[in-house]
Structure 1
Amino acid sequence: MRSSLAWLTEIRRALPLAAAVLLVGALLVPMWRITLTAPQYPGQELLIELYAYPRLGGDFAEVQGLNKYAGFYYPDPVYVDPNYEISEAAIDVPEWLLGPVVFAGLALTGAFVAFAPTVRKLKTGLTAQFVGTIAVFVGMFAFIQYRLHQAGHSLDPDAPLRGIDSFTPPLLGPYEVANISGFAWFGPGGYMTLVAVALLAVAYLARDVDATVGELPELARALPGAVRERTSNGGRRSNRGDQAATDESERDRDADRNPEIGGGDRVG
């Protein structure tokens, strides 16, 4: 019987663990960055860095001074005191505290899936994790964009600059407010999150094979040929393929009932 460590070298088990490490690491660095240019700072770009929890980095103090002219304020996390000044006119975003909970929860899920005791449970876990992770991040993206819309449509009417129309800062991309230009994009944590999701996608696609991480280059080289072969067959499955799928399903069910069947497909 193969050891637990040997099983964890499989692509479908190792990549969820690697994704878990990346998701935890993403909490330690900025998730999002905004660069700003303004006439008050000629030839200079100001940088704001936002973390997955209520913390800002970079030139946030200088930018806070610019925001006051337009009546746009950093959000209030409500239940904690962040490292920046909170205005009474700021919108409330108590859910910002949940960022570490979400990332840690997804990381723990990856570890749990990687140690699934049978192939059948592993496949189910990989599918659920991949779909769930996509759903979580799409939901987070949409909710953050809503909060940005809310902030841009709650400008302080007593701000020094009058006549500024309400606006919606994009989560990703350029925008302008009065004479201030901004560009929002991923920070290091955002890129780490994207890589983690990509690893989960690869693990999901490799759920039916027991290839190890060391075999990834060989599989990648063989992929174009496999795609061409499947395309040339018109996507039709042969009777032999149907029978093989049926046999594999039966083996998985037998392995769940008896750990000694199917080559001892249990972590131990």
Structure 2
Amino acid sequence: MKNILPINRVLVFIAALLMVSAYFTPLWQISLWAPQYPEGLNMKIWIDKLSGDVDIINGVNHYIGMKHIGAEMFPEFTYLIYVFGFIISIGILAAIIGKKWLAYSFLGLIVLLGIGVIVDMYLWGYDYGHNLDPTAAIKVPGMAYQPPLIGYKELLNFLAYSGPDIGGWILGVSAAIMIVVVVLEWRRKEVRSTMNQVPSMGKS
């Protein structure tokens, strides 16, 4: 059968609706702690903007020659809202129509989006931490300040953390729901295939 089960259509719809949260919650966060900032500094990355202690972080990073952080550093802000809208539309369409290929495409797009975000964050962090101003007040030979992709990392007297924020975790839940849907549909297909291979009773 080329249609998914009604219960799985509901799950696909829930997964698509959860992705709408990306428009209202931060997707990623970068935090810094140091003796002079025991309460921590936090920058949140949304689908189309930055928030948090961006100005203070810029002031601190200026001394070691790091680039000024601003929305202009993230051209993704100009098109991510449309990328998310397209993927959400595919998910809702898959839930309404119930076609397997649409449901599988929805999961594939979520996975590609996740990979794209991770790669993009790494490339941004590499450029931000390696391309330093040679005239900076503080220079440590051979030192790079690339923030961690995910997790914690010590940078001079700072402890840096990078990882998903509320919106990022919700997107992870959407992906997990879709993985469950795909697994259930594959198991259903295997069960049907096995039943078709078993000879009917009464036949010689």
Give the 3-state SS of the residue equivalent to 1:170 in structure 2.
Answer: coil
- Residues 32-72 of structure 1: CA distance to partner in whole angstroms, max 9, x if unpaired? 1222112332x32122211122x222222222211111222
User: How far 1:31 moved relative to its partner?
Assistant: 0.8
TM-score, structure 1 normalization: 0.64
For structure 1, the residue ranges without an aligned partner over 5 or more in a row are 1-7, 79-91, 211-229, 231-236, 245-268
Q: Specify the SS of the correspondent of 1:71.
A: coil
1:32-47 correspondence to structure 2 within 5 Å: 32-41=28-37, 43-47=38-42
After TM superposition, the structure 1 = structure 2 runs for residues 1-268 of structure 1, keeping only pairs within 5 Å, are: 10-41=6-37, 43-53=38-48, 55-78=49-72, 92-116=73-97, 122-163=99-140, 165-207=143-185, 238=194, 240-242=195-197
Structure with max Cα Rg: 1
Alignment: residue pair count: 193
Q: Is the 8 A contact 1:33 1:185 kept in 2?
A: yes
Query: Whose strand proportion is higher, 1 or 2?
Result: 2
Q: Distance in 1 between matches of 2:198 and 2:7?
A: 25
Is the Cα–Cα contact under 8 Å of residues 34 and 159 in structure 2 kept in the other structure?
Answer: yes
- Aligned equivalents of 1:111 and 1:201: distance in 2? 16
Q: Gaps spanning 5+ residues in structure 2: where?
A: 200-204
* Cα distance, 1:183 vs structure 2: 0.9
One-letter amino acid of the structure 2 residue matched with residue 242 of structure 1: Q
TM-score for both structures, normalised by structure 2: 0.81
Do the aligned residues in 2 keep the contact of 1:75 with 1:93 (CA within 8 Å)?
Answer: no
Deviation at 1:187, TM superposition (A): 0.7
Q: 1:111 to 1:157 in 2, by over 3 A?
A: same
State the Cα deviation string for residues 216-249 of structure 1 (Å, max 9, x = none): xxxxxxxxxxxxxx9xxxxxx75x44379xxxxx
Aligned-residue Cα RMSD (Å) equals: 2.8
Q: State the percentage of identical aligned residues.
A: 26
Report how far residue 9 of structure 1 moved. Answer: 9.1
Query: What is the distance in 2 between the residues matched to 1:169 and 1:148?
Result: 6
Q: Tell me, in whole angstroms, the C-alpha distance in 2 between the residues paired with 1:106 and 1:74.
A: 32
| Secondary structure class of the residue paired with 2:39 | coil
Alpha-carbon distance change, 208 to 40 in structure 1, aligned in 2, over 3 angstroms: closer
